[in-house]
């Protein structure tokens, strides 16, 4: 697949032309470089094919009217291989993942208004067993999503994603949001847990990342709490995966998620934030 960066934007009013600026270093708005492309006044989308995997880009769109240029805010973009996405479900209009996997809805789980809606009582999604959802102990990992919790049940636990297998070894992992923390639970290894009280009724962007066996939590792009070094391996067994419920973990509906979810992604082979104090927003 050819590397590319797809952009679209909105613009009020009439202009003479538009200019696309793109650089691997921050752009000085008082000393603009030569635009990477000059676009007609009616263009509102552009695809840049001169993109290098692994690079970081800073971009502006300039609009020119009567020789006066107005510049958009700067956008920072990280270019990485889309093949690293093992799950990429935006839930904007349906339950088909961008990797061609299909989620099956249970209960009243539904997609509307650009998000997955779960009422906290037997609403969840399943997808067939796949090794894609699992990571080896040497691999970097990113699990990220946008979630709104309306309320917690008596357990004070909402299950976002689970591959848990109940057996003598209690294998696999799950991602949980509690009323006072966020955790990725790995039953045969440690379970990194960060203190954080998610506000009810407000969508937050969560990214749980592991780079070189060091786990970090980011909320709305900013690291929360300290790092967690994983020192023992986690065992995997390829099983059906769930979104929004701990039912397969043997908890019935007491850990079902009551709220909304969108932009759910599992990326294997990359910690998107690169171990820094901030991470790119979805």
Is the pLDDT at 231 greater than 70, yes or no? Answer: yes
Give residue-wise pLDDT tens across range 9-25. Answer: 999 889 999 999 999 99
- Say how far apart CA 21 and CA 34 lie, in whole Å: 7
pLDDT at position 170, please? 65
Report the b/e string of 207-226 with b at 16+ CB within 10 A.
bbbbbebebbbbbeeebeee
Q: How confident is the model at residue 129 (pLDDT cuts 50, 70, 90)?
A: confident
Q: 14: exposed, middle or buried (C-beta count within 10 Å: 0-12, 13-18, 19+)?
A: exposed
At 67-120, the pLDDT tens digits run 999 999 998 887 877 789 999 999 999 999 988 889 999 999 999 999 999 999
pLDDT at 169 over 80: no
> What pLDDT is stored for residue 234 in this prediction?
78
Mean pLDDT computed over 24-34: 94
Q: Is the pLDDT at 273 greater than 80, yes or no?
A: yes
Average pLDDT over residues 230-245: 85
Dump the DSSP string for the chain.
----EEEE----S--SEEEEEEESS---TTS----SEEE-TT--EEEE----TT-EEEEEEEEEETTEEEEPPPEEEE---GGGEEEEE--SSSSB-TTS-B-EEETT-EEETTEEEEESSS-EEEE---GGG---TTS-EEEEEEEEEEE--TT-EEEEEE--B-STT-BSEEEEEESSEEEEEETTS---EEE--PPTTS-EEEEEEEETTEEEEEETTEEEEEEEE--S--------EEES--GGGTTTTTT--EEEEEEEEEEES--TTTTSSB----
Average pLDDT, the chain: 91
Rounded mean pLDDT, 181-186: 92
Mean pLDDT to the nearest integer, 27-46: 95
pLDDT band at 179 (very low <50, low <70, confident <90, very high): very high
Assigned token pair, 142:
């990113």
Residue of 271, 257, 249, 276 whose CA lies nearest to 115: 257
- In terms of pLDDT, which residue wins out, 249 or 89? 89
Q: Taking Cα atoms as reference points, which of 128, 129, 145 lies closest to residue 89?
A: 145
Candidate ranges 72-86, 142-156, 185-199; pick with highest mean pLDDT = 142-156
pTM of the model: 0.81
Q: What is the pLDDT of residue 166?
A: 66
Whole-angstrom distance, CA of residue 222 vs CA of residue 205: 10
């Amino acid at each position: 697949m050819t590397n590319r960066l797809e952009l679209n934007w909105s613009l009020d009013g009439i202009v003479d032309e538009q200019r696309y600026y793109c650089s691997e270093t921050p752009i000085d708005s008082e000393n603009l470089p030569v635009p990477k492309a000059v676009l007609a006044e009616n263009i509102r989308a552009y695809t840049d094919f001169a993109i290098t995997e692994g690079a970081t880009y800073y971009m502006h769109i300039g609009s020119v009217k009567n020789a006066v240029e107005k510049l958009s805010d700067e956008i920072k973009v990280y270019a990485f291989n889309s093949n690293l996405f093992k799950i990429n479900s935006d839930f904007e209009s349906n339950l088909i993942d961008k990797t061609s996997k299909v989620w099956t809805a249970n209960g009243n789980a539904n997609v509307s208004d650009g998000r997955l809606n779960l009422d906290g009582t037997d609403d969840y999604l399943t997808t067939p067993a796949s090794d894609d959802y699992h990571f080896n102990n040497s691999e970097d990992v990113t699990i990220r999503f946008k979630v709104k919790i309306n309320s917690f049940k008596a357990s004070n636990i909402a299950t976002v994603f689970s591959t848990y297998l109940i057996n003598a070894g209690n294998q696999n992992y799950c991602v949980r949001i509690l009323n006072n923390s966020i955790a990725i639970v790995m039953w045969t290894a440690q379970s990194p847990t960060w203190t954080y009280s998610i506000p009810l009724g407000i969508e937050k962007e969560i990214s749980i990342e592991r780079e070189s066996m060091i786990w970090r939590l980011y909320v709305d792009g900013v690291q929360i709490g300290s790092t967690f070094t994983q020192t023992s391996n986690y065992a995997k067994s390829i099983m059906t995966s769930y979104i929004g419920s701990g039912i397969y973990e043997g908890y019935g509906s007491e850990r079902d998620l009551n709220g909304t979810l969108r932009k759910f992604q599992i990326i294997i082979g990359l910690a998107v934030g690169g171990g820094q104090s901030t991470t790119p927003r979805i």
